[in-house]
Structure 1
Amino acid sequence: VKAETAKLPQTQSAKQTLPSTEVNPAERRAKEIMAIQRDIARRRRRRIALLVTRLSFFVFLPTLVVGYYFFAVATPMYATKAEFLILQADSAGGSGLGGLLTGTQFATNQDSIAVQSFLQSRDAMKKLDDDMGFKAHFASETIDPIQRLPENPSDEKAYKVFKKNVKIAYDPTEGVIKMEVVSADPQVSQAFTEHLITYAEERVDDLSKRKREDQMGEARVSLDKAKIERRKAQETLVALQEGTLLDPQGEIANIRSLISSVELQLQEKELALNSQLNNTRPNRAKVDALQTEVRLLSEELSRQNTRLNEATAGEDSLASKAAQIQMAQADLVTADLFLQSALQNEKQTELEANRQVRYLTTSVRPVAPDDPTYPCAFEDTVLAFLIFSGIYLMMSLTASILREQASS
């Protein structure tokens, strides 16, 4: 019985066999890390997609449009370059600081700046339009719409195109004026450049001509005035000499000499008459003769004294006329000195005016290019890309700063 009882199956207590809800902490941490990484990757992909979209919209697409314009649409432009100098005429003399600067670029610095301003002015643009049809050329249908002028453009619009396509630069260290003229045709570009150089030559001539005329005008006025004064002095002297004796002083001296001679003779005759009268029995014939001679000599002396008084007294006397003639001669000498000084001043002014002469010399003559100069498609496209990238970067930084400030 004991053996049978030992072979019977034994009852066992029930045990829980369901899976446990408890998870291993290491596995749970791994799952959480995996979920975080997936979320980070998803957000990163979304941000990269948004970044690529923004870059495409704000940078790549505009760059593509600009590149298409430069490579396929933009009209080829031809640039003609030229260089010229404004020089001063060689002078034989010169002293001081002006003599040191003569012949250098500093002597023509102001003229070069004036010519540069003129070539960039509306006046030059109008001259070029009148002579070469500047507006008509840039309003041609062969030029792309962006660079083309509208039909019947205003001077202001044409001037903007003129400033864009005519570039003038002045180097003060070397005194060289550099010019670049851009147009849609190489021959037209060369013609524009040559006409602008011609305008510059005319303006340089006008500037130096005005200086010379101003200087010479004053010298000529002074010379003409000196000539008129000398002519008046000479006419006055001639009129005085025609109305009197040639030598009034000599005439007065002759009268005085004659009076002295008559006085001596009268004195001798009076002595002879007194000696005859002192005789007890004077010779009556001699006495009468001596008395007659004394009377005649006295009358002659009185007449000569009257002549002398008339010659030395009164406004119409010989002395007065002699004084007037001397004054007129002195005025004539003074006028001659003034005339000589005016002539010398005119010659000196003429020399100075010749030193003021400016002339334009072309060091690099304009030559029509055989290949288009603009646009530089690749360089301009890269530049547009950099510009759009910089704009996008600035906008992104600004937006980030604003968001950060708003969140704080």
Structure 2
Amino acid sequence: MVDFVRRAQAVTREAAAIAGTRPRALTEGLSRLLGSVNIWFWAIVGLPTLIAGVYFFAIASDLYSSEVKFIVRGPNKAPTSAISAMLSSSGAAGGSEDTYAVLDYITSRDAARRLEREVDLRALLSRPEGDLITRFPGIWFWRHDFEALYSSYQRFIAVERDSNSSVSTLAVKAYRPEDAHRIARALLEFSEQLVNQLNERSRRDLVGAFQREVEETEQQIGKIQTQLTTYRIQQKMLDPKSAATGPLELLAQMTAQQTNARAQLAELTRNSPNSPQIPLIQTRIASLDKLINEQRTKITGDSDSVATALTEYERLDVQKLLAEKTLASALVSLESAKLEAQKQQLYLETIAQPNLADYPLYPKRAISFATVVVSCLLAYGIAWLLIASVREHASA
């Protein structure tokens, strides 16, 4: 590089010395200057710079940009430790994973496929205004598959998130301003739908188990109620508990009568052993004994007794009571789960709607061309230094 500069200065001084005398001499000086530049400079700097200049200033198509700003708000999660609190307060803890989920979706193949179906992404990226390099399918003109479309799609969108404000920015480029606006609007709608799907999935995960418990308990209560109805029909009793009260009261009355009769018999036997009422009372006592035994058999017998009927009914009634308490507890848990799911809701708030550009902001022709020139000069300088170092070591 130093050798090149020295030779250029020498030729320039010589050209300036003869510039006032003969134009032909000036032309010869310029020719000598160009000839003094070696072929590697033209290969590393000259040719790439020429190609970049032709492309950026003569071929590259104008690109319009539509920008969207949004923020994904979720539940406030309390820090679990003092260190976490310090990190979150200083902004070093990063952002919400839900925001990154939305940004990853925007750049995903699913979003590209949906754009292809709903807004005809292929047509938007292959507009005739586009140059051969950037438009779809570009220089790979023989590839029209989805992967080629997805590769082109990634060049036309950019998403980033500000870790300080948590605001996400989506920038969409297209050959027409209405195309960029259309894609940005569609991606914003897809993002909102994704957030709603995440909310629905979270709600199902939180509420689903309690909802199933409520449904199962309601079904169990329904089955028990059916069994109770069937049992009432079989026993021909509307309420076995009330039906059991009658035999018990009748037994109590007959027992009381039997006690009174035995008391009368004992008194007559003691005071009037030959009284004609004694056989009548004895007959009455025998009848009462028989009736009491029959009534006790009805109440506590083996098969069709009141006790058997009441035991089965009480078993079903207790099952129903327990199921109703379980249902009440499940309903309380379900309401708590719904409240918790509501607290866990995500919200996508749009800060800036997609704009309709009136001037092409891309490509940055001067900046891009200058970047190419500087990069090539740096590459040439590094190569020249390496070669000079090798020559110096070889001569030594």
- Identify whether the pair has TM-score above 0.5, normalized to the shorter chain: yes
Aligned to 1:127: 114
Q: Give the 4+ runs in structure 1 shifted more than 6 A.
A: 44-49, 104-108
Matched, 1:87 2:108: no
Aligned with 1:357: secondary structure?
A: coil
Pair 219,64 (structure 1): closer, same or farther in 2 beyond 3 Å: same
5 Å-filtered alignment, 1:326-341, equals 326-341=314-329
Q: Does 1:55 align with 2:46?
A: no
Residues 129/236 of structure 1: CA separation in 2 closer, same or farther (3 Å cut): closer
1:291–1:213: structure 2 CA closer, same or farther, 3 Å change rule? same
Deviation at 1:356, TM superposition (A): 3.3
Matches of 1:227 and 1:70 in 2, distance apart? 72
- Number of the residue aligned with 2:133: 146
C-alpha distance in structure 1 between counterparts of 2:342 and 2:41, whole Å? 67
The answer to whether structure 1 residue 347 and structure 2 residue 335 are counterparts is: yes
Tell me if 1:169 matches 2:157.
Answer: no
Distance 1:113 1:355 in 2: 20
Residue type matched to 1:221 in 2? R
Picking from 252, 257, 262, the partner of 1:256 is 252
Please tell me whether residue 193 in structure 1 is matched to residue 192 in structure 2.
no
Shift in Å at residue 254 of structure 1? Answer: 4.0
Is this contact kept in 1: 2:247–2:295, CA < 8 A? no
Residue 380 (structure 2) aligns with: 392
Residues 140, 148 of structure 1: 8 Å contact kept: yes
What are the residue-to-residue correspondences of 1:18-167 with 2, within 5 Å? 50-51=36-37, 54-88=40-74, 109-150=96-137, 153-167=144-158
Sort the Cα spacing of 1:359 and 1:53 in 2 relative to 1 into closer, same or farther, 3 A.
same
Pick aligned residue for 1:268 from 256, 264, 269 = 264
Q: Counterparts of 2:335 and 2:208 in 1: how far apart (Å)? A: 12
Match of 1:37 in 2: none
Q: Deviations over 1:388-407 (max 9, x none)?
A: 11221232233334434545
| Alignment root-mean-square deviation, CA | 3.4
Measure, in 1, the Cα distance between the counterparts of 2:218 and 2:95.
36
Which range moved further: 374-383 or 131-140?
Answer: 131-140
Q: Mean alpha-carbon deviation: is it higher for 224-233 or for 393-402? A: 393-402
Structure 2 portions without partners, runs of 5+: 1-5, 12-31
Residues 313 and 319 in structure 1, CA contact (< 8 A), matched pair in contact too = yes
Q: Counterpart amino acid of 1:69?
A: Y
Count of aligned pairs? 352
The alignment partner of 1:148 has SS state of coil
The percentage of aligned residue pairs carrying the same residue is: 21
User: Which has more radius of gyration?
Assistant: 1
Aligned residue in 2 for 1:303: 291
Query: For residues 342-375 of structure 1, what are the alpha-carbon distances to aligned partners after superposition, in whole Å with 9 as ceiling and x for unaligned?
Result: 2222222222233333332210111122221111
**How far is 1:226 from its partner?**
1.0
AA at the equivalent of 1:261: Q
Q: What's the secondary structure of 1:207's corresponding residue? A: helix
Distance in 2 separating the partners of 1:323 and 1:377: 94
8 Å contact from structure 1 (residues 88, 107) kept in 2: no
**Farther off after superposition, 71-80 or 138-147:** 138-147
Q: 1:346 to 1:140 in 2, by over 3 A?
A: same
1:216 to 203, 207, 213: 207
Q: Which residue is equivalent to 1:14?
A: none
Instruction: Tell me which amino acid in the other structure corresponds to 1:124.
Output: A
Match of 1:376 in 2: 364
Structure-2 separation of matches of 1:97 and 1:257: 75
Q: For structure 1, which segment, 180-189 or 152-161, has the greater mean C-alpha deviation from structure 2 after superposition? A: 152-161
CA distance in 2, matches of 1:227, 1:329: 15
The answer to whether the 8 Å contact 2:261/2:284 transfers is no
CA distance in 2, matches of 1:142, 1:393: 38
How far off is 1:323 after superposition? 3.0
Structure 1, residues 250-292: CA drift from partner, whole Å, max 9, x if none?
Answer: 6335413421331231231243035322xxxx4xxx42x3212
Secondary structure of the residue aligned to 2:96 is helix
In structure 1, list runs of 5 or more residues that go unmatched.
1-39
In the alignment, what sits opposite 2:169?
178
Structure 2: distance between partners of 1:96 and 1:391: 52
Matched with 1:10 is none
8 A contact 1:77–1:373 mirrored in 2? yes
CA contact (8 A) 1:77 1:182 kept: yes
The secondary structure found in structure 1 opposite 2:272 is helix
1:293 aligns with 2:281: yes
Change (3 A) 1:138 1:216: same
Offset at residue 121 of structure 1 (A): 1.1
